[in-house]
Structure 1
């Protein structure tokens, strides 16, 4: 049914900053640039309202969300001033949410508990909880997934933690008749989706792929975190690319390789593909991509949240196959971008169950 979409955020970092700013941008602009969908079911971007936020950084906890999103170490590009939002950032479970090497020295921490998160979700009548925790925060991500289940809230796992691809979590969200989307958001025109598209094109055109690599550098705190916790990120990105070449085996290496502070919220990706065309003649492709990483994520999330609310309205529980295949790097079911897009359209129009 039509109404507001009440969203809670776990992790008030750069991606959360761009998402919150992006909602304000959509309020200010009659025709916002960069959204895939102007309307999803009955919902437009202006229907999304942030009602709760959680973090473990003591510099952000206790502040209004409109102030916390600009608090260091956040360095997302500031496009709009959101003003005071009337949402105070609450402490959440710490667990493995901050790498040991960064705890206290780079991020002064404060800890909340699961029960308080559940109460906040219930008292604010949240519909959707977005997990924006850092890569490597598996236990903390599971805590927020548990909070979503206990409070009757849909869950979006924006990070590489294994939630939407876990049979246990799939079954639990299915039984609760709550939507589950994930894992690890695929940016609007990020390195992964671009790399996947090129590999898919070569495969469709009969080109034999011998090997590929992708090396990423950036200046966000997430890149600093990845210097200590890049294993799961490497796995999901590599698997996403390799699955685009049906019946073709090739070597692939994909990795974040350096935190470079002066880049700020920019990310630079270097891609190389070595292949053979007709007659075994060599084909080599080199691509460089530079984006402002948090904003590359925000527009996609505005679409994701609206699709998840549509699923809630229809009482669709468990993993959202079409949405996850289109919007995430490590979904329960992989599909080429064009196929996943058609699945998503079919779901939005009611021609597909999930």
Structure 2
């Protein structure tokens, strides 16, 4: 079993827990790595932290459906884990002040709780912009010797990589790349055009949804953070084309549905112009599930082997702000699979 703690019981936590329940019922989940020694059904969420009084003190099975979460109930989640009160720090700045109803319960001692439950992997699902809170939970993971997955845009790898490496604790981040989110599809189409000899000159992407994460990223400083990371990632895959990408609007009735619009312009043949217009619709929170299920199992493998810090080959495939951005998805996937194949045949490194 892989013992997991979740930080931030929002929409992604809801989608993840429902998906884990789904696979435990023997139903398929598409796209997960099958070469790992641990299976998706080996993942068990044993700890959860949040600051909203509508979730704190409740069972996870109930908390994941409390407001402001909007992911519908697809599966009856069986979990008696009680959501504990975490530290607030910068976790409710700006528009979050109006959204979050802060619990009056004193915060738990996070590192002690992680140790008590022998947590293998901590998954950070805090809102965009919660830099101090993300750093805090990463530090608590270090103290508890738990691997840390940073699904948020907060800069954790750059700041704490060396500490995690020295203590042989895996650190994977930053800013999760969705299974079939707008950024993943956008770069995939650009790579196809490049493979056919098209010179991509400029491109843009806008995303619309009804989740809390979408609403808060309308704040300029959060929008700039997300836009900068997305644009840099797509630009790397397009050989320096002019790129703009980011959230453009919040539409409450969409709920967890996400609508992405992309335009890609370029030249082919003797300089003939080409333009690709795409409307892409998906369910936002479930876009994170398959990568997280892979990363939790990978983190456990690395932890078993005594490998610490951020691994470029792993982070480069699963994140938008990794230590190294590779030139293509094909290259990053090949390097990731080659690395895992090698690691799984080697003895524990820190013995």
Deviation at 1:33, TM superposition (A): 3.1
Matched, 1:34 2:30: yes
SS at match of 1:82: coil
Matched, 1:6 2:24: no
Deviation at 1:55, TM superposition (A): 0.5
What's the CA shift string for 1:251-295, capped at 9, x where partnerless?
A: 111110111001010000000011111111001011111111111
What's the CA shift string for 1:12-57, capped at 9, x where partnerless?
A: 0000110111100010124x131332351x2001110101000011
Name the counterpart of 2:178. Answer: 187
* In structure 2, distance between residues paired with 1:12 and 1:5: 19
Deviation at 1:339, TM superposition (A): 1.2
Aligned pairs for 1:145-294 within 5 A: 145-164=138-157, 166=158, 168-228=159-219, 229-245=222-238, 248-294=239-285
* In structure 1, distance between residues paired with 2:183 and 2:233: 7
Superposed CA RMSD in Å reads 1.7
Name the counterpart of 1:334. Answer: 325
SS at match of 2:237: coil
* In structure 2, distance between residues paired with 1:334 and 1:114: 37
Deviation at 1:206, TM superposition (A): 2.6
Deviation at 1:201, TM superposition (A): 2.4
Which runs of 5 or more structure 1 residues have no equivalent in the other structure? none
**Runs of 4+ with >4 A deviation:** 111-115, 351-354
1:69 is aligned, of 61, 64, 69, to 64
Name the counterpart of 1:46. Answer: 41
* In structure 2, distance between residues paired with 1:24 and 1:59: 22
Name the counterpart of 1:96. Answer: 90
Q: TM-score, normalised by structure 2?
A: 0.94
Name the counterpart of 1:315. Answer: 306
Deviation at 1:134, TM superposition (A): 0.4
* In structure 1, distance between residues paired with 2:107 and 2:72: 32
What's the CA shift string for 1:303-325, capped at 9, x where partnerless?
A: 11001100001111010222211
Aligned length: 343
Deviation at 1:343, TM superposition (A): 1.6
* In structure 2, distance between residues paired with 1:234 and 1:313: 36
Matched, 1:346 2:342: no
